[in-house]
Amino acid sequence: ASFVGTGIAMLLLLALGAVAGLVVSSKVMGRLLEKRRVPTFYGIMGLILGSLVSMFINADIYPKYLSGSIQAWDYIAGAVLFVLGAIGIYSLIRVAKKKKPMPVEGE
């Protein structure tokens, strides 16, 4: 077996694992949202807030912000991605409002 063949096989296995993980986690998330909607949202919010905290307290990243080595394109890319994210969220909200609302747990 050549090095290239082994590399391609490894990439295919990685892709297969990523797809399988995505499918399984989306099924689990869907079931959790059906059965335990509010606690699931709290769990998701905890993951999001935890990532924000770890992003700014990361020992490898924090010195880069203080050194001023961030280029202008970093800010431009951040602004563009922020706007695209806001547009995406707004679009999802509009689509969700057109659909039948899901019942909220406890009501």
The runs of H, that is alpha helices, within 58-71 are 62-67
Q: Where do we find the tokens 């694992």?
A: 17
In contact, 21 and 27? CB cutoff 8 Å: no
How far is residue 46's CA from residue 49's CA, in Å, rounded to a whole number? 5
Specify the pLDDT at position 105.
62
Indicate the SS3 state at residue 34. helix
- What pLDDT, in 10s, does the model give residues 60-90? 776 777 777 778 888 899 999 999 999 999 9
CA pair distance 30, 18, nearest whole angstrom: 18
The answer to whether the predicted template modeling score (pTM) of the entire model surpasses 0.85 is no
The pLDDT, as a whole number, for residue 63 is 72
Maximum alpha-carbon separation in the chain:
61
Q: In whole angstroms, what is the distance from residue 56 CA to residue 65 CA?
A: 10
In the predicted structure, residue 28 carries a pLDDT above the cut 80: yes
